[in-house]
Every structure is written in C-alpha cells, then in structure tokens.
Structure 1
C-alpha cells in the first residue's frame, strides 16, 4: 500500500446487524483477537461488542484473560490493542517455515534488480499473509510489513496465485496456467502494478507467492516481465521451483 493518513475506526453498528456470537469459549476468544486489523489497532469495549456480537459482560471476562496472557493490552483510555504474546507467536509461526534464510536473499536480489518492493505471501483462510518482504528505498513505494493480512477477494497478483494453487477460482487462471504468473495493474490499489509467481519446494509442495510491486507509472509491463524472469532465476539458485511438478512432467 502507499502510505497515507490512517482513517478513523468504523462507526458502531446497530444491534440488528451485529454478528451472531460464537458459542464455544475458545471460539469467542478467537473472535475477539480477529476483531483487530491493520486499520483497527485500538478498539473500545463497544467496538469489540459490535465486531463479535458478544455482550459486554462476557467480553470483559474474556478480555481479562487475554490481557493476563499478554495477548492483548489495555490502555488507560480503556481501549484494547494487540499484546506482545501475539508477536512472539507470530515469530514462531514464521520460524516454523524454515524459509527465511533461503527466501530473504531472493527477495533482496529481486528488489535490487527491479528497484521495487518484493514480498512473499501465504494463504490463511480467506486472507493472504505477508511473511517476508524487502522494501525499495524509493521515496514513493509500496510498503508492507510482515504479518500484514489482506482479503484475497480484494485482488492483487499474489492473491490470484494463492487462490489458483489452493483450489479456488480466479479470473487469471488462464494466464497463470499458460505463463506461470499473474500480472495486475491498478487492481487493488489504483497507483500500483504487481506481478507474482508461485513458489514450490523442490519436492513440488506449494509454499506461497512471490510478488514484485511497483508504482504503475514507472513499472511498465516490460519491466514487470523482466522482474519475474529474474525472480525465477534467483528462486532456482536457492532450490525452489516456480512450476508444479505435474506441469513439468507434462511438458516433457
């Protein structure tokens, strides 16, 4: 995304449109944590009630447990925000992939060659999550942080790659099958152009999507294609594949 001033939190919703609250205690706790997002980092008790459908008495009990576990923290204003325990869990999640030592050099090399931001996304439910990224040093740029979540339905080249290789429909299916990448221009963000390709382990296991994201006015389609070709070279040098094993066998 291009850095802009943050927008105000969503206004409270009325009782008629409030979601049905989960039944199980664990599900209720998860629904509280999932109420937070990049644009909603500080939420009041009423915000959380509107987002989860839970009554305030139940919420206060859950919030007390989550604060004690350091998964949330409470400010003097009464607002809640994500706590340090979530960062710890996020780092454990990243480390469980054992990919960073191999992928980070690829992302850095591609960023240096293209001059644009590069990132690696995985699918989590109906969202894509950024695990690694290399930010360009150019003043106007796409900026993303590890852990950033985006709805797959909102588009972007990496979203189409993740949808296709996890069994979900995408309008870019033909391009992905024929050319091995997804290319979008001004789809999710009007000013941006992105191109993404799938990343597979040496044994053919699908891992996620590597994407190069640049300002559309300085990143024409020819530059996007050159960037993805270089990314393929770098991935191969580090033991990754960019085509499914079945496709490679069929082409022989």
Structure 2
C-alpha cells in the first residue's frame, strides 16, 4: 500500500509540475521549478527526467525546461475528444449573435469548472475566458448550475477553497437550489468585478446535468431588461443542446 501511495504521489507531483507551464510562462529553469513547486531540487530533477523519457517535458541546450513534443499527440486527442458537433456549435453561434455576448460551455471537474467550448461575441469589449481555463465553483452563474445536485462533500470542499471559508457551504447549497428551481442562474461581479453571467443546465438523456451553457460579458451590458431576454435565450439554447447531445465527450 505504501508503494502504491508513493506512486500516486509521484504522478500527482509530475502533473502539478507540468501544470506550471502556461501560454505566458513556457520556459522554466530547474531552480525556478523548485521554488514554484515547493519540492526538493532532487525531486524536481527526477520528475523532469521521468517526464522527458515520455516526451512530456523537454530540456533545451541552455538548460531551460519546456513542454515536450509528446504532448502534441495528447493535445490532438483532447481536441478530438471534446470537439462539439456542428449542430451544437451552430446553437452557440446563434446565441452569441442574438445576444451579442460570448457563449461558453463549462463542465465540472472535481472542485472546479472547466471551459470546454466557446463562441466569442461580436463586441470589442468582452469577458475573456479561454477554452481549457479552470475557474472556481464558488462563484459565477455556471458554478451555481454545476453545483445542482452535487454531493454534500463536494460543496463543502468548494466552500473551503473560497475566500469566504467553509461556512459558505450553506450559501452555495442555497444558490444551487434556486438555480434548480428557476432553471437558470445569474451572477454579477462574483468572481471578477464588472463581469456578469447567465447560465442554464445542459442535461443528458437521463436528465442528469452534464454541463452549463453560459453567456458572459461586462455588467454594464447586463441590465435588468436585457438579462430577462438573455435568460430566455440561454435556457432555450441549453434545451436545444440537451436534445442534440454533447457527444463524443459527454
């Protein structure tokens, strides 16, 4: 058992190490990786070497470590697995055109939500979330929708990660409950000041919530009158996507 736990811990450390690489930070030295990860230098060197053997990391001649070519195959696989059908993308395009705001689809991943699809709105000033971005579940309209029916332990963990502390769990349950009754959720400035959102559930053939369809943009454009129209459009679009299905990934 100890060996199994040690192996799992090493895998998690390797994943966390790779997670340090972003579009804005593509190169790291061993010293920088050690400082950022909080791991011992010998551990970082061992993890980098192991990842290099599988092509997940790459050490350049100048000693800088970057993402390895082995991830290209994984990236292609991930894109194919989460590629939405054209009819679903058409629904997203029409919603973005109708409302003039950016449309995203989020799924719940443990205690976070991940943007898996997007169609940008036509406005020059818009709320920027990129496909693949991981956002908290303690704030935002999509988060409320994705917490509908969530296990109590999940809600407790989400609350503990929030700036409000574990006592926020009851409020999260209340918000999710209201979203379940209303069939949608609305948020203003919860995660980011000046940003608003509206979300509705996307369900599978058994009626289980598998994703949240969200409309997001600057709060200044989300007036009470427009929000009422947006809600109708988002809910209708989410129902269409539920009928079409989110295959192949979901």
With the shorter chain as reference, the TM-score category is 0.7 to 0.9
Give the distance between the partners of 1:239 and 1:188, measured in 2 at CA. Answer: 27
Residues 1:164 and 2:148 aligned together: yes
Q: 1:112 aligns with which of 94, 97, 111?
A: 97
Cross-structure match for 2:197: 194
Residue in structure 1 matched with residue 163 of structure 2 by the alignment: none
- 1:8-43 Cα offsets, whole Å, 9 max, x none, are xxxxxxxxxxxxxx8323233223223445665544
Alpha-carbon offset, residue 183 of structure 1: 0.7
Equivalent of 2:236, from 217, 233, 237? 233
Distance 1:78 1:220, change over 3 A: farther
Structure richer in helix, relative to its length? 2
Indicate if the aligned counterparts of 1:130 and 1:146 stay in contact, CA closer than 8 A: yes
Aligned length: 219
**Compared CA separation, residues 125 and 77, structure 1 to 2 (3 A):** farther
| Among candidates 215, 218, 223, match of residue 215 of structure 1 | 218
**RMSD value over aligned CA atoms?**
2.7
Runs of 5+ consecutive residues of structure 1 not aligned to the other structure: 1-21, 242-252
Q: 1:83 to 1:137 in 2, by over 3 A?
A: farther
Distance in 2 (CA, whole Å) between partners of 1:116 and 1:107 is: 11
Q: Is contact 1:118-1:212 (8 Å) kept? A: yes
What CA distance in whole angstroms lies between the structure 1 residues aligned with 2:137 and 2:64?
A: 29
Structure 2 residue aligned with 1:23: 6
Which residue does the alignment assign to 2:164?
none
Cα pair 2:186 2:199 within 8 Å, conserved = yes
Task: Report which structure shows greater RCO (CA 8 Å, sep ≥6).
Answer: 2
Uncovered stretches (5+) of structure 2, i.e. residues with no partner: 156-168, 245-250
Could you state the TM-score of these two structures normalised by the residue count of structure 2? Answer: 0.74
For residues 231 and 192 of structure 1, do their structure 2 counterparts lie closer, same or farther at Cα, with a shift above 3 Å needed?
Answer: same
Identify if the C-alpha distance between structure 1 residues 85 and 210 changes in structure 2 by more than 3 Å, giving closer, same or farther.
Answer: farther
Taking a change above 3 Å as real, the CA distance of residues 81 and 102 of structure 1, as seen in their structure-2 partners, is: farther
Measure the CA separation in 2 of the matches of 1:204 and 1:172.
20
What is the SS of the residue equivalent to 1:217? helix
| CA distance, structure 1, for counterparts of residue 99 and residue 177 of structure 2 | 26
Deviations 1:73-94 (A, max 9, x none): 4456644344454454344345
Q: Secondary structure at the match of 1:33?
A: helix
Change (3 A) 1:99 1:203: farther
Paired with 1:157 and 1:39, the residues of 2 have a C-alpha distance of 27
Q: Secondary structure at the match of 1:196?
A: strand
Residue 142 to residue 102, structure 1, CA distance change in 2 (3 Å): same
TM superposition score normalised by structure 1 = 0.74
